[in-house]
Structure 1
Amino acid sequence: MRLRLTLAGAGILLLLFGVFRLVTQIPFGSLLILALWLAGAILIHDGILSPLVLAIGWGIGRLVPPRARLFLQGALVAAGLVTVVAIPMIYRQGSQPASKALLQQNFGGNLTLLVGIIAGATLLAYAVRVARDQAAARTLAETETEDEPDSPMPRAGVEPDLAHGQTQRRTRMGDGDP
């Protein structure tokens, strides 16, 4: 508890120092622009981005199979983050002199390439998952067909049904129902 209070106190002191520096070092016009920018950011986030993300998530949940859903969601998050970082650079591209080479790159093309790499890596990861699942299912099917029903030693998780000459798979609760 003492550590938590110490950290909270340090955070509050740093916050007050930052506010003091803003008020004493930054002209009022710049503070007004900053306040408008922050209000715009809140409006864009809460009015556009959050409903859009919720709608996309709802659509993915209803349209995409469960196995693919995780991969698609990860790809969309990665592509979204990359896009959010790239948009200001695309917007400001060409606004600086040639001596500032950072804003002279083709950010639109680079963003397209990076989103393509994310999509390719996602498709590859999904293909590996599907191949692994299919291999596991084949292995399980092969082991079940190789076991003889008249074997004196039943497999783990299988109980012999002596009355009918068959075996029954035990469930987790152990009630013998398939």
Structure 2
Amino acid sequence: MRALRGLLCAAGLGLMGVGAWLLFVEGRIRNPEDVVVWLGGAVALHDAVIAPVVLGVGWLLVRATRRRGPETLPTGAQGAVTTGESVGRRRLDVFRGPLRGALVVGGSLTVVALPPLLRPGRTSNPTALPLDYPRNWLVLLGATAVCAAAPAALRLFRARRRDD
């Protein structure tokens, strides 16, 4: 696993280098200062909006799925604590990590997709933004949800088999 992480890190750094090369050396943009301003805005948006939302939802998720001892569980119909409630809460723990990851990826996709999503309508040049960006953004968010739900569902399935 360590080798895979190192390989992915090296690939990411290499792609960032290619992007910086194309941006600053090849001169494909007219004003590099605008890019710096945009990147600064992205960092500010992350720190002011995305990170607090992810932290808040993660905190709520932990509070909702926290394992409770039998003495703090709600009581059943006859006043006895039912074990199903404890097991159900424990099983919700498997969704914490994938949901947090999905929130981070979804927030990042949204930040990247904001410029074409917020455009005021069709442009005078139909080749400037030719794709259906809202649909593609929703498809990517759906794929993110599926990729986050799959490992959680697998863990839940394994936990059920282990409990049986």
Provide the TM-score with structure 1 as the length reference. Answer: 0.47
Offset, 1:52: 2.4
Q: Which of 120, 127, 148 is residue 99 of structure 1 equivalent to?
A: 127
Deviations 1:14-69 (A, max 9, x none): xxxxxxx9xxxxx9xx6886776566455433333332232222112212432221
Q: Identity rate of aligned residues, in percent?
A: 30
Higher strand share: 1
Q: 1:44 to 1:104 in 2, by over 3 A?
A: same
Output aligned runs, 1:37-116, within 5 Å.
40-41=41-42, 43-64=44-65, 65-92=92-119, 94-95=122-123, 97-100=125-128, 103-116=129-142
Unmatched tracts of structure 2, length 5 or more:
1-23, 25-29, 66-91
**What amino acid is aligned across from residue 130 of structure 2 in structure 1?**
Q
* Structure 1 equivalent of residue 150 of structure 2: 124
Give the number of aligned pairs. Answer: 112
Please tell me whether Structure 1 or Structure 2 has the larger radius of gyration of its CA atoms.
1
Q: 1:42 to 1:32 in 2, by over 3 A?
A: same
**What amino acid is aligned across from residue 123 of structure 2 in structure 1?**
S
CA distance in 2, matches of 1:42, 1:126: 30
Provide the TM-score with structure 2 as the length reference. Answer: 0.51
Output aligned runs, 1:144-159, within 5 Å.
none
CA contact (8 A) 2:99 2:148 kept: yes
Unmatched tracts of structure 1, length 5 or more:
1-20, 22-26, 139-178
CA contact (8 A) 2:42 2:111 kept: no
1:94 aligned counterpart, secondary structure: coil
Offset, 1:107: 0.8
* Structure 2 equivalent of residue 158 of structure 1: none
CA distance in 2, matches of 1:77, 1:71: 10
Deviations 1:128-171 (A, max 9, x none): 22112222333xxxxxxxxxxxxxxxxxxxxxxxxxxxxxxxxx
Q: Which has the higher contact order (CA 8 A, sep 6+)?
A: 2
